[in-house]
A and B are shown apart, each in its own frame.
Chain A
């Protein structure tokens, strides 16, 4: 059995999953901190 399709699938899954959660967490952090800062500037 050729193992390469399994190896490529494992690496791709890991990279896509890790990148997706990192990007999601980063976007949530930036959005929440921007909202908090905007609210803090209000009189």
Chain B
């Protein structure tokens, strides 16, 4: 990982990768959402409302994956003092917040026709709402720390502590009696209870949104590195 600690080396890879991730991700999302809307069959019990799955589940996965990225970046910053770790964590926070909000909103839109309610204070929904608030707190804290000229150590600790919420979200449907359905796909055991014609659009959608998420993170990292370059240059120009 320290190979990419040099921003110039990182940018050499990030520049072509940004466009590639963005365009391939967008194409996969378009394919998956068209398949989810028009090709995938309705579900036996939930009927047509199951089509919300193709936007809701990738949003949930990416909201959780985003915070995992923030926690890993926090660890790299605190232990190895990786110079790009704080930049990466700040870049992940905004798309992470977006996908946490989309997960909550699309879940609510799915809950109304499927369960007859927009919201229920059960384990899965409440822990996901906590994740959204953690993202908002992270953005505020990172902004404040950067403004005060800090290295982002407090923000890194916040990112690590916040990761406690991730297993709570994951196991909430097992630990508590919940309105939310249980796990349908296990990447550990490599099993799925979802039928093939419904599964492939979900996996393509998740992969497409993941690639786009990566492109957004790279764009935000490039913007932050350019701003740091400007700040350093202006400081040198202003120095006696």
A, B assembled together: yes
Name A's B-contacting residues (CB within 8 A). 1, 3-4, 6-7, 9-11, 13-15, 17-18, 21-22, 25-26, 28-29, 31-33, 35-36, 39-40
Size category of the binding interface on chain B: 35 or more
Contact: B230 with A39, CB < 8 Å?
A: yes
Main SS of chain A's interface residues?
A: helix
Q: Which residues of B contact A (CB under 8 A)?
A: 18, 22, 29, 33, 37, 47-49, 51-52, 55-56, 59, 94-95, 98, 101-102, 105-106, 109-110, 112-113, 209, 212, 215-216, 219-220, 222-224, 226-227, 229-230, 233-234
Which residues from chain B contact A10 at a C-beta distance below 8 Å?
Answer: 52, 55-56, 105-106, 109-110
CB-contact partner of A21 in B29, B51, B216, B227, under 8 A: B216
Contact, CB under 8 Å: A40 / B55: no
With A21-B98, A25-B223 known as contacts, the answer to whether A6 contacts B55 (CB < 8 A) is no
Q: How many A-B residue pairs have CB under 8 A?
A: 95
Give the residue name and chain of the B residue nearest to A40 (CB). Answer: B233
Q: Is the pair B109, A25 in contact by a Cβ cutoff of 8 Å?
A: no
Extra contacts, 8 of them, besides A1-B112, A6-B112 (Cβ < 8 A), are: A7-B52, A21-B94, A25-B94, A25-B223, A32-B222, A33-B222, A39-B233, A40-B233
Tell me whether A22 and B22 are in contact (CB under 8 A): yes
A19 shortest CB reach to chain B, Å? 9
Which of B29, B112, B216, B226 contacts A25, CB < 8 Å? B216
Q: By the criterion CB–CB under 8 Å, are B48 and A4 in contact?
A: yes
* Chain B residues, Cβ within 8 Å of A3: 47-49, 113
Are B37 and A11 in contact, with the CB atoms below 8 A?
Answer: yes
Min CB distance, B182 to chain A, in Å? 21
Point out the residues of chain A lying under 8 angstroms from B109, CB to CB. 6-7, 9-10, 13
Taking the nearest CB of chain A, how far is it from the CB of B195, in angstroms? 19
**CB distance A29 to B113 under 8 Å?**
no
A34–chain B nearest beta-carbon distance, Å: 8
Interface centre among A10, A17, A26 (most CB of B within 10 A): A10
By a CB distance below 8 angstroms, the chain B residues around A9 are 109
CA distance A14 to B106 in the complex (A): 8
Closest Cβ neighbor of B111 among chain A residues: A6
A26 to B212: give the CA distance in the assembly, Å: 12
Residues on A with C-beta less than 8 A from B105 are 10, 13
Known: A14-B102, A26-B219. A6 touches B229 (CB 8 A): no
**A33 and B223: CB pair below 8 A?**
yes
Distance (Å) between the CB of A38 and the closest chain B CB?
A: 9
Q: A4-B48, A36-B226 are in contact. Are A29 and B55 (CB under 8 A)?
A: no
